[in-house]
Amino acid sequence: MRRPSLRSRLIATVLILECVLVAAMAAATLVYLWREQLRAFDLMLRGRADSLLGQVHDAEDAADDVTIDPSALDLRSRDLWMAEDQGGRVLAHSPRWNPLVARALENAARPKSFQLSGHSFRGLVLHGVRQIDADDKSPGIARPVMIVYAVTLHPVHEAVMRAARFLLMAGILLLMMTGAALTFLLRRGLAPLEQLSKAAAEMTPRDPRFRAPPGALATRELAVLARALESATERLEGAFRRQQVFVHDAAHELKTAVTIVKSSLQLLGSRPRTTREYSRGLETCLADCARMEELVQRMLQLARFEQEPAEHARCDLAEVARDVAVQMETLAQIRGVTIGVEAQRSAPVPLSEDACASLVANLLLNAAQHTPEGGQVIAEIEAGSQTVLEVRDTGSGISPEDLPHLFERFWRGDRSRARTTGGAGLGLSICKAIVDACGGTIRVRSRLGEGTCVTVKLPAAEANSLPESRTVGEVVAG
């Protein structure tokens, strides 16, 4: 089923509202016209009744009565009227007079509408006094007279119907003109929106970049949306690009690890070996498989931390750092380095314990692997409006050329050490993903021959949301 367009909806809505407005205006106009026509009609009705009263004169007989000469009257032939004196004697009436008129009016002193034989009439009853034989010396004789006068309302109906037909034709013409104007104006007004929609439809997985058309950027209401779409698609394109790089690098790393295992097995099977040679070869293969397993585990860990929301997660960074330092005691003894944690009080951060432990472990492990025997790795924690974690070592440092690439996935400044240390270049990428997830920052400062300092700033969490922790002090492993 085809859905109506926004333009057709707007046109239909405006036309419907205009129809309602035109109908209301027409109704109000017709009501006003009807009342004005009735007011003029009532004046005419009363004027005709008064003129009929003026034709009452003295009769030429001994009874000294009054009479009306119908031949002297200039009244409409379709009018219904009747005049009678105070004794009830009919002085005169119209040719079409119907006694039902007097019954319908019921002595109505004001004009009144009624139905007669399926037709609408309006009439009144006029009680007047005619002075007979009046002169300068005598006021004359007062003769009460009752006039019943009714006129058909057909002219009023005709006038109102003509006005209604005019308003109907004018309304239809107005709606047609409005519809044409709306179609033209909306087509021009919505053109930038259609261009915006067309530009969005041209986005493809190969080219996800949104390019805002000039018409949309020139429209104030659409410019905000166009720029937001451009910004969103830029971030989306960057995410796609990083994902492609990640997949490519991950495939390369896994291929390298599989190739190493395959080469070791091929070497073992190339000629007969002693039991000891087979045993050493299998140990080498197992070590390579362990490195490949660690690589896969770190890749999964990185993907999880990049997608894991930080809401409702709380932990004590100081306590987690102490626990990690204790767990790394064996590694510190093997490498002959000292790993210490300095924290004067608890440091609540919006991280899960798993993410926090991975962050500290990666930083301490990375520092320990690049610190020579007899060196130190110190993790110092300061809690305040922000929680700051600094991991300092006395290692060999990092060259300035490598600093911009530290947080890139699978980056290793000294690739020859990867097989020795087991590193895959994902440790700092995992740390950055964890820090970014909770809105923090991570920076690395280093000088060759002097050591490295990694500074992590995390938003502080509510202390009362943490479980009761042990007293925080200093822990040294090594």
In a domain, 189, yes or no: no
Residue 130, strand partner residues: 143
The token duo for 91 is 């002085």
pLDDT at residue number 10: 83
Q: At what angle do helices 317-327 and 353-369 cross, to 10 degrees?
A: 50
Task: Fill in the amino acid letter for 349.
Answer: V
The Cα–Cα gap between 123 and 100 comes to 12
From the list 174, 178, 194, the residue with the least C-alpha distance to 11 is 178
Identify whether residues 335 and 435 lie together within a single domain: yes
pLDDT at residue number 308: 61
Residue 388, strand partner residues: 382, 457
The Cα–Cα gap between 364 and 325 comes to 8
Domain boundary among 258, 286, 307: 307
Question: Are 310 and 350 contacting, i.e. CB atoms less than 8 angstroms apart?
Answer: yes
Question: Are 369 and 392 contacting, i.e. CB atoms less than 8 angstroms apart?
Answer: no
Task: Fill in the amino acid letter for 275.
Answer: T
Number of domains the chain is built from: 3
CA distances from 100 to 96, 121, 296 (A): 11, 12, 108
Question: Are 68 and 82 contacting, i.e. CB atoms less than 8 angstroms apart?
Answer: no
- H or E element that contains 386: strand 386-393
The Cα–Cα gap between 216 and 384 comes to 46
Tell me the average confidence (pLDDT) per consecutive run of 10 residues in the chain, 478 residues long: 73 89 93 94 92 75 63 80 87 90 89 92 89 63 86 94 94 90 83 82 77 81 83 79 70 73 82 84 84 74 64 82 88 88 87 86 87 90 90 87 77 52 66 85 88 90 54 48
pLDDT at residue number 471: 40
The Cα–Cα gap between 19 and 167 comes to 12
In a domain, 199, yes or no: no
The Cα–Cα gap between 341 and 316 comes to 13
Which residue range is the domain that position 451 belongs to? 310-477
Identify whether residues 344 and 253 lie together within a single domain: no
pLDDT at residue number 59: 60
Q: Which of helix, strand or coil describes residue 210?
A: coil
In a domain, 20, yes or no: yes
Identify whether residues 283 and 245 lie together within a single domain: yes
Q: Write the DSSP string, 102-131.
A: HHHHSS-SS-EEEEETTEEEEEEEEEEEEE
pLDDT at residue number 21: 92
- Beta strand 90-93 pairing with 80-85: antiparallel
- H or E element that contains 148: strand 141-152
In a domain, 187, yes or no: no
pLDDT at residue number 354: 84
Identify whether residues 270 and 369 lie together within a single domain: no
Identify whether residues 157 and 210 lie together within a single domain: no
The token duo for 457 is 């700033």
Domain boundary among 307, 327, 342: 307
Q: At what angle do helices 191-201 and 220-269 cross, to 10 degrees?
A: 0
Domain boundary among 277, 292, 307: 307
Helix (H) and strand (E) counts for the chain?
Answer: 12, 15
Rg for the chain (alpha carbons), in Å? 52
The token duo for 331 is 């590694």
From the list 112, 87, 86, 117, the residue with the least C-alpha distance to 99 is 117
In a domain, 1, yes or no: no
From the list 355, 306, 387, the residue with the least C-alpha distance to 379 is 387
